[in-house]
Chains A and B, each alone.
Chain A
């Protein structure tokens, strides 16, 4: 079975500050991990995906995430927040087979000018 926990349902940062969104997972198989972003009234857009190999994954819009097996974490970071980053972010883990994702509860990122 798989599960995802996102710590902090709301995160507020100033424009230009570091963005850190936390994700911890539980998986009965080696995890494949994903970060998605959702803007208001839109669907989910893939930011990045971890499969195997390099533990630091770079995604779109300057985001990256690091897979830490010992901590069962996959935190999302961006060095400098932009106003356009304000959105809801979802961490997800895939199952053993098929195309099913288990999502975390989401973190709403607010960026202050």
Chain B
């Protein structure tokens, strides 16, 4: 069973550009969450999608957006990149709609490492 696949794994952008990151969840998983990981701020929740609907959103500016497609694949977009957006962006998928549901857990991908110059 394939895991969570994130593409691209590494990318370099310059300030002011925009970037799109892709996440393919485990087959059958309907929930996709995104997290930003930086040395200074640690792991921070960006947003969560379930059945194509954004259910939760973290405390990030509107430059950060996402969407989920009917096949559960998800993309996140960051517009007008800033130096501080340099981070590892992690995607996680889960089968059910809540971590408080039975054995439901988040399975993470390897991440997309974004460097903004």
Contacts and interface: CB of A to CB of B under 8 A. Distances in A.
B90 A44 contact: yes
Contacts of B116: none
A36 B99 CA distance: 14
Nearest to A106: B42
B43 A99 contact: no
Nearest to B94: A99
B99 A45 contact: no
Contacts of A57: none
Given A42-B110, A43-B4, A105-B42, A98 B97 contact: yes
Residue among B48, B103, B108 with the most chain A CB within 10 A?
B108
B97 A99 contact: yes
Contacts of B35: 103
A34 interface: yes
Contacts of B106: 44, 46, 99, 101
Give the contact-size bracket for chain A.
Answer: 20 to 34
Interface of B: 4, 31, 33, 35, 42-45, 48, 50, 55-56, 58, 90, 92, 94, 97-100, 103-111
Interface of A: 32, 34, 36, 41-46, 49, 51, 90, 94-106
14 contacts: A32-B99, A46-B107, A90-B43, A94-B99, A97-B100, A98-B48, A98-B98, A99-B50, A99-B56, A99-B92, A100-B33, A101-B33, A104-B42, A105-B42
